[in-house]
Amino acid sequence: MQKTMNLTGLLLPVLWGMSFGGSPSVQIGGLFPRGADQEYSAFRIGMVRFGTAEFRLTPHIDNLEVANSFAITNCFCSQFSRGVYAIFGFYDKKSVNTITSFCETLHVSFITPSFPADGLNQFVLQMRPDIKGPLISLVEYYKWETFAYLYDGDRGLSTLQAVLDTAAERKWQVTAINVGNLKDERKDEAYRSLFQDLENKKEKRVILDCEQDKVKDIMEQVITIGRHVKGYHYIIANFGFLDGDLSKIQYGGANVSGFQIVDFDDPVVAKFDQHWETLEEKEYPGADSRIRYTSALTYDAVQVMTEAFKFLHKQRIDITRRGNNGDCLANPAVPWSQGVEIERALKQVRVDGLTGNIQFDQYGKRVNYSVNVMELKNSGPVKIGYWNEVDKMAVTKIGPSSNDTMGIENKTVVVTTILEAPYVMLKKNSELFVDNDRYEGYCVDLAAEIAKHCGFKYQLRIVGDGKYGARDAETKIWNGMVGELVYGKADIAVAPLTITLVREEVIDFSKPFMSLGISIMIKKPQKSKPGVFSFLDPLAYEIWMCIVFAYIGVSVVLFLVSRFSPYEWHIEELEDGQLGQSESTNEFGIFNSLWFSLGAFMQQGCDISPRSLSGRIVGGVWWFFTLIIISSYTANLAAFLTVERMVSPIESAEDLAKQTEIAYGTLDAGSTKEFFRRSKIALFDKMWQYMKSAEPSVFVKNTVEGVLRVRKSKGKYAYLLESTMNEYIEQRKPCDTMKVGGNLDSKGYGIATPKGSALRNAVNLAVLKLNEQGLLDKLKNKWWYDKGECGSGGGESKEKTSALSLSNVAGVFYILVGGLGLAMLVALVEFCYKSRAEAKRLKMTFTDAMRSKARLSITGSMGENGRVLTPDFPKAVHGVPYIRPGMGMTLSMSDLS
């Protein structure tokens, strides 16, 4: 901007010289701070508008940092050396003394729209009137006796001193706070802390003696912490009440007052405003917005200088600077002899400008000026009167002194809500209905009950942006339903709005009408059918291994005790009757022991039993063991075979946090997101770090989008939402979502009202009454479970018992078939082994032995006594049968040979 201004300062003399055909030139200096684009545009327009053929104003512009005294000194001396007749410019607290000192020493007039400087300065013309008189009169009009005074120390302390002097006379209690020395990076936090301290002191009346940019910053924090509602009153102590954006605070309920020196209803101002709107923004920066009061003062300053030099030109007063273009730092200083003439001419100017009547006293201060007194209403800024030095405070419009709303009995309460099933839904044939009848749901019924208890009429209005309410980190503006309440667009919010600290700071909540917590929603996994060997599932793998080892161990122990116990041995005599021929036998060999243990385990018994005490002890404890194991197995077997189970990939928030395969997210601009963002718990902070950095974004615009993402993600996305909504969606078709784990926190839904609303107490009592009557539980059952689509108790979402199918017991058949096949294989091995042994014994070929054995296996061979005779049977047994004495019977041995 500096280069632009310097270039313009060089070009304007040439252009104006061409325009006025070589007319007399009056050198004018200009000192503009960085960022004063609109003021500089107004200065240029004034130069063109007030220039005539009699003479022209030739500006020399410098752009600088007005807080830098060195830069001010350098630019002022540069302007003086160029031979300027007067200087227009700005200053602040740090540079005002430097400028006034140069002006007094060199007799150079300085015209400024900056705040009025303290003291009497002969060569400084103050375009801005003094605000002391209007401010004190307004405080007296409102009958304030206790208030806070926030001032910017960079603007001087004269106004503060006047207020304190008046407070001492009237016995006012004033809390003065300097807000001019706050660091930019900490100012927002400092403003919030400041107003919190004032709130603790019950101080709700505040004067803001600051420039408009600082007023804007303060009011943004006022809105952020909810101090812009009914019961609060602010006076903006500058002359640009309409310069700031008041729309954010307009509907809050607080009263805001101030002063406006530019009357846009005045014909002169209206004509200029029409021309201002036609200007191009590229050529005239700042022309895209309404002219500010500082820009209007700049424009009027050009008019004042033009009128003064016109007067001097007509009077033919010599004001040339020949021989006076010296060094401003010379010692001793050489003042300009004609400077006093210019100073007098400037103070004698009387014109009507954009800021009304312009007139100065002998000290260069504005006199006989008038300012409008403004108040902010629901309909916008309204002029309630004016102030001048003669009439003082004159009220022209009588009305309520606060930005109040009508009583609830005289108006229809606007109820903001959000389309969210089952709270608020459009009816299927909603186009056939109007107003509230178009909607149905839990909150629709709740709003009707509350209206009935409180006795007011209401209108449901769906929030425009479809959001619950969160504060933008950059703009500090609340959106959603909270924003509707904060900015006065709605009177009450009946919706699933979570009660949180940040929301409670700007709006009021009733007692919770529903308790809930954050839960995890995932896509319902496919039900796993029992496997082929699911009959093994009732007992863990470790138990089966222990059973196998126990079986082997018991068999070995039984074998050993049978070997050592004499009662398990018995003597068998041979049937041939030969003396001394006997054999000691023991039935519990290793294989018989294994067979006995297996028979007992299978609860089938065995044809042998232990006869010794030790063997029976082993058998008894083994029977007891098998009784317990088989009973436990049988008890669980039915459940494992007949229930189809779902295997969930996650069961808790810990499972989510420690894996990366499944993405998870929350609703954007909601309390769930705020919970994770503010949480100091390590687990939740870890989850937040993942969610805010995940690509693509895991946040969704609304719950419908979140549920749809869960259903389409094939189990790769989990949605974090309130448990009540999770339970409701679980009851909706296609019944493919489920809630896993417990709630991550505990909170409640409340009915919200603006701060200080008259509805708060009535609504709170209504909620408590409905809760005691059990109506809240009745409404939840109605909209959650009575209208559920997935069956009682969750329907398909629960495990259900069904008839056994072949797949449930296929493993049993496999074992049966496998056992039969194994038996056949063993029989074949035995057949081959015996055939080989028979071939060796009878000195036959293996093939003949196999053939003989096969013939015997297929046809068999019966003896005369009915026994099956085999080739390897001992001949002594067959050839010498036992004959009972006295029996005369002969046997033919021909078939035994």
Q: Express each pLDDT in 775-807 by its tens digit.
A: 999 999 889 888 877 865 444 444 455 566 676
Q: Is the pLDDT of residue 51 over 50?
A: yes
Determine the straight-line distance between the first and last CA of the chain, rounded to whole angstroms: 136
Q: At what angle do helices 293-314 and 339-347 cross, to 10 degrees?
A: 120
* pLDDT tens, position by position, 151-179: 887 666 888 889 999 999 999 999 998 88
Buried b (16+ CB within 10 A) or exposed e, 829-858: eeeeeebeebbeeeebeeeebbebbeeeee
Q: Per-residue pLDDT for 569 more than 80?
A: no
Asked if 340 and 122 count as a contact pair (C-beta separation under 8 A), the reply is no
Instruction: Quote the tokens at residue 4.
Output: 């632009």
Q: For residue 328, is pLDDT > 70?
A: yes
- Out of 80-84, 691-695, 825-829, the most confident range is 691-695
DSSP label at 861?
-
Three-state secondary structure call for residue 325: coil
| 3-state DSSP assignment of residue 516 | strand
Higher pLDDT, 643 or 388: 388
> CB neighbours (10 Å) of residue 352?
13
Q: Are strands 413-417 and 492-493 parallel, antiparallel or unpaired?
A: parallel
CB-based contact 778:449 (threshold 8 Å) = no
**CA separation, residue 635 to residues 358, 628, 808 (Å):** 103, 11, 16
Copy the structure tokens of residue 235. Answer: 């006076």
What is the model's pLDDT at position 554? 86
From the centroid of its chain, how far is CA 689? 13
Which pLDDT value is given to residue 139? Answer: 93
Examine the pLDDT at 858 and tell me if it is beyond 80. Answer: no
pTM, rounded to two decimals: 0.56
Q: How far lies 172's CA from each of 136, 168, 593, 692, 830, in Å?
A: 12, 7, 109, 52, 120
Per-residue b/e over 624-650, b at no fewer than 16 CB within 10 Å? ebbeebeeebeeebeebbbeeeeeebb
Give yes or no for a contact between 505 and 529, defined as CB atoms under 8 angstroms apart.
Answer: no
Give the pLDDT band of residue 892 (cuts 50, 70, 90): very low
* Helix, coil or strand: residue 330: coil
Closest CA to 17 of 57, 67, 63, 49: 57
Flag whether pLDDT at 11 surpasses 50. Answer: no
Q: Cα separations (Å) of 43 from 88, 211, 277, 298?
A: 10, 20, 16, 6
Q: Say if residue 409 is exposed, middle or buried (CB neighbours under 10 Å; 0-12, 13-18, 19+).
A: exposed
Q: Point out which residues pair with 572 in neighbouring strands.
A: 583
Tokens standing for 468?
A: 């619950």
The answer on pLDDT for 860 being more than 70 is: no
Residue 88 in tokens: 């227009």
Q: Do 763 and 447 form a contact (C-beta atoms < 8 A)?
A: no
**Angle, helix 212-224 to helix 187-200, in steps of 10 degrees:** 60
What is the tens place of the pLDDT at every residue in 478-495?
Answer: 889 998 888 778 889 999
Task: Say how many residues make up the chain.
Answer: 897
Task: Give φ, ψ of 738 to 5 degrees.
Answer: -150, 155
Share of the chain above pLDDT 70, in %: 83
The DSSP-derived string for 760-809 is: HHHHHHHHHHHHHTTHHHHHHHIIIIIT-SS-GGGGGGS--B----HHHH
Q: Which residues contact 646 (CB under 8 A, 6 or more apart)?
A: 524, 525, 526, 527, 528, 738, 799
pLDDT value of position 54: 64
Burial class (CB in 10 A: 0-12, 13-18, 19+), 667: buried
Contact 30, 84 (CB under 8 A): no
* Bond before 422 cis per omega within 30 degrees: yes
Higher pLDDT, 84 or 857: 84
Whether the CB-CB separation of 670 and 466 falls below 8 Å is answered with: no
Task: For residue 119, count other CB atoms closer than 10 A to its CB.
Answer: 12
Spatial neighbors of 396 by CB under 8 A, at least 6 apart, are 383, 384, 385, 386
